[in-house]
Structure 1
Amino acid sequence: MTGDLDAFEVTPAYDTLVAWRTAHAGPLQKATMGLRSRVSAEKCAMPKVSQRLKRTPTILDKLKREPTMALSTMADIGGCRAVLNNVDELRRVQRRWEQRDRAVRTRDYIVAPRDTGYRAVHIIVQYDERLIEVQLRTRAMHEWAFMVETVTGRLNVDVKGGRGPDEVQRWFKAVSEAMAIEESGGVVSGTLAANVTTLREQAEPLLKRGWQ
């Protein structure tokens, strides 16, 4: 009987979640058009613009991981992304967003990368009273993030979210640091280069056989 009650209680909540997710489709389309417009206005070279609605299981997983978060304040149910040629292009597009009242807040993971090494700029914008996350990355940042997502799938553990073997986490963080230096026109020190190689050797067995 308790199971039946739980099912009756959960179903309306699930329906509400699905309806809320669906309500982001139109605002997401507007945000993506706004992103394309800003990228075009800055004459960025061969940008890659994409969009996605967060999948329902992913939304549920995030609510489970962050129990104090309300569905109405989740800012990345709808998200669009521009992959740009370099940091200069990224900053120019960022300024175009921030000069308008669409922008609610900015998270600059270039100035302050996440502990995992993730770098990008996330701008939360608002369309039709819905929050949409605009991600701005350079090609190097996107390449790093793609590698992390690939390994996340291979190991079946949320490496992207900071989980998984320490060896893999340390390697990705060192790689991110080296890529950031090169992207800014600097020279990677011998110490950092050697560290990347050592950490790769430590992580490689885990990357090949998986992690239990």
Structure 2
Amino acid sequence: MDSPSRNQVKKAGSTLRKFMRGDLREHSAVIDALDVMETWRGAHYGPLVSANNGLRSRARTIGVAAEVTQRLKRSQTILDKLRREPTLDLSRMQDIGGCRAVVDTKDDLRRLESRILHNLDPVAHTDYIEHPRLSGYRGVHLIVKYQDRAIEIQLRTKTMHEWALATENYSQVISENLKQDGSHPIQLFLRVASDMMALSEDGLPIPAEMTRLHEQRRIDALPYLKEVARER
């Protein structure tokens, strides 16, 4: 199948959303829509490789040690996002292709961010360090265009990345996306942990009241944390 038009991709996303809602029973239409989605997903691979290579090159040029990885969003994850965001146009989903750089310090992160902004013109730029998500997630996200495909670039320090990995691990065990904003006991615990990690990363003291809140939320989350420990 040739690369589908954006209108075809938009229509495919709408068809899949209707099927997941139970409003569509025509299986042939669903199969066709899945084919379009998979072809669209595959069309991001070449641009993703270019973005990954560009990110590695920029880090080397400015002398920043960076662990750079890339990924195509899994098909099931695309479907989950369509279900979760009922107004999202599949053709405008900006993180089907994504690459990430994990660096040692916030200073390294800002230098790499500046280099990207100097070379590219992002269509979106979100700073979750200055404005963390309510979940506690921190990092910088940029959406750039490579070969007319939107590619997401994530920048994290090692500390931010450790928090995100722990959160993903907890999410898998309890089958809930804890990086989204919410009020699950583990989310409330991780939110305070993120604040403490950020202060420590900046070389700042951790207030006693924050330490007490962290301990209380750890106690509240303990039944779920024990479940995570059993799964490991």
TM bracket (short chain) = over 0.9
Provide the aligned C-alpha RMSD in A.
1.6
Q: Is the 8 A contact 1:51 1:81 kept in 2?
A: yes
Alpha-carbon offset, residue 209 of structure 1 = 3.3
2: distance between equivalents of 1:29 and 1:144?
26
Distance change in 2, residues 1:4/1:126 (3 Å): closer
Determine the structure 2 residue equivalent to 1:94: 113
| Aligned residue number for residue 170 of structure 1 | 188
Q: 1:104 aligns with which of 106, 118, 123?
A: 123
Q: Which runs of 4+ in 1 moved over 4 A?
A: none
1:76 and 2:95 correspond = yes
Work out the number of aligned pairs and report it.
206
Aligned 1:9-48 pairs, distance under 5 A: 9-45=29-65, 47-48=66-67
Q: What is the aligned partner in structure 1 of residue 135 from structure 2? A: 116
Structure 1 distance, partners of 2:43, 2:191, is 36
Kindly provide the CA deviation profile for residues 7-30 of structure 1, in whole angstroms up to 9, marking residues without a partner as x.
011111111100000000000000
TM-score of the superposition, structure 2-length normalised? 0.85
1:182 matched residue in structure 2: 200
Alignment check: 8 A CA contact 2:41 2:72 kept: yes
CA distance in 1, matches of 2:24, 2:76: 22
Question: Match of 1:185, as an amino acid?
Answer: G
The answer to whether the Cα contact below 8 Å between 2:64 and 2:108 also exists between their aligned partners in 1 is yes
Q: Does 1:62 align with 2:85?
A: no
Q: Which amino acid aligns with 2:118?
A: Q
Q: Which runs of 5+ in 1 are unaligned?
A: none
Q: Which runs of 5+ in 2 are unaligned?
A: 1-22
Counterparts of 1:152-171 in structure 2, within 5 Å, are 152-163=171-182, 166-171=184-189
Question: 1:5 Cα shift?
Answer: 5.8
Distance 1:153 1:113 in 2: 22
- 1:203 is the counterpart of 2:221: yes
2:202 partner amino acid: S
The alignment-based identity, stated in percent, is: 43
- Letter matched to residue 32 of structure 1: N
Partner of 2:5: none
CA deviation digits over 1:60-84, x for unaligned, max 9? 1101111111111111000000000
1:150 to 2:169 alignment: yes
Matched residue type, 2:78? I
Contact 2:98/2:154, CA 8 A, preserved across alignment = yes
Contact 1:117 1:172 in 2 (8 A): yes
Cα distance in 1 for residues equivalent to 2:54 and 2:125: 16
Structure 1 residue 4, shift from structure 2 partner? 10
